[in-house]
Amino acid sequence: ASTGSPPPSHPPKEGEKKTLAWLAGFLRDWPGPLGPAEPPPWTASTALLRPDETAAELTERARGFLGRRGAPPLLAASLIHAAVSGILQSDLGNFKKQNLDQDEAESDSEGEEEQPTGMLEAAPLQRHFFNKLLEICGEWQKELPALKPSKRYLQISIHATRNTRRKMEDRHVSLPEFNQLFGLEDDVDRAYFAVYDGHGGIEAANYAAAHLHVNVAHHEKLLENPAEALRDSFQKTDEMFLLRARREKLRSGTTGVSCFLVDDKLHIAWLGDSQVMLVQQGKVITLMEPHKPEREDERQRIEDLGGCITYMDCWRVNGTLAVSRAIGKCVFSKNIYLRIWGV
């Protein structure tokens, strides 16, 4: 006769040991859910969220938080997907802002025919999301599900420098666990990488770094036409950021370049003068032509839209912007704005 629990059917692998050890440590630090008055362990990017911003905002806050705590990347991506899916399938009515301030309501609806209704209060929603994440960690510590890793290993290095600017306005995204983060279970390997070169503030670059890849993942043609999904997501992210920019009176913008690796195919999309290089066997292969104001086709496009190109220490759009395309960065004048984006 034997006593105690039966032995496991197989000993845990090294990766499982590290995952279970991390979960145990995390649950020791957070032994119970946050109370109604307790703030989430991260700062929300805004006080109010539109429903279509929810998935990206929750994902971005959790990615940063779990990354700082040293969560194994595969575990972090899988946890976030499970928690975000649980939140999106629940009733978010309790988080709706009941009475928008008059200024917020006017700004929110100005010039928009299809503005989503029912703004959500970010802080209580983020707290609810963290508690959901905590709940899933407890369940997975007891019974860890099979976490499917990517089929191949990608060697990645990242370097960033602020130079002489007062604040770092650039952002990057590195997502070798794209499939796990969005629950894609087919046999196709996917990874996403992006660089966003912000100007006039950090808000546009932050927004693009949080939302663009989520828009790619949720695009209806992601599986059949990833190139179209990537291209459309630039414009969708721009449109979404402009709604927030009008509401919060933001003036920042960002150029960007994204690389979406789907098995053995590399899809590139960009706007502005952010660049990407491919070096193959020591040879540089040109993948893109950056959008610069001095390009004849860019000059003509901007002049056709009513803008102008002038030289002021460098070529600038309307005497200010040194880039000809960007997410965000509206130039406001008497409630009329000139978009510098272009398709």
Domain 170-328 has CATH 3.40.50.300: no
Nearest residue to 191 via CA among 256, 257, 259, 237: 259
* Three-state secondary structure call for residue 343: coil
Q: How far is CA 288 from the centre of its chain?
A: 23
Give the pair of three-digit tokens for residue 30. 């957070």
Planar angle of CA 252, 256, 262, nearest 5 degrees? 145
The mean pLDDT value for 22-35 works out to: 96
Asked if pLDDT for residue 319 goes beyond 60, the answer is: yes
Name the band, by pLDDT with cuts 50, 70 and 90, for residue 6. Answer: very low
- Report DSSP state, residue 155: -
- The per-residue pLDDT for 341 is 42
Give the pair of three-digit tokens for residue 124. 């209580």
Mean pLDDT of the chain: 86
* Three-state secondary structure call for residue 139: helix
Cβ-contact 30, 106 below 8 angstroms: no
The percentage of residues in the chain with a pLDDT greater than 90, rounded to a whole number, is 59
Asked if pLDDT for residue 172 goes beyond 50, the answer is: yes
Give how far Cα 110 sits from Cα of 327, 340, 341, Å.
19, 20, 20
The mean pLDDT value for 246-275 works out to: 92
Residue found by looking up tokens 């890793």 in the block = 149
Cβ-contact 306, 338 below 8 angstroms: yes
Domain boundaries, the chain: 14-98+118-142, 170-328
- The per-residue pLDDT for 101 is 57
Asked if pLDDT for residue 1 goes beyond 80, the answer is: no
267-313 per-position pLDDT tens digit: 999 988 888 889 989 999 888 888 888 888 888 888 888 888 888 88
- The per-residue pLDDT for 99 is 67
- The per-residue pLDDT for 329 is 66
Range name among 12-26, 75-89, 188-202 with the lowest pLDDT average = 12-26
Per-position b or e across 119-130, b if 16+ CB within 10 A of its CB: bbbbeebbbbbb
Cβ-contact 266, 200 below 8 angstroms: no
User: Diameter of the chain by CA atoms?
Assistant: 89
Asked if pLDDT for residue 22 goes beyond 70, the answer is: yes
Asked if pLDDT for residue 223 goes beyond 70, the answer is: yes
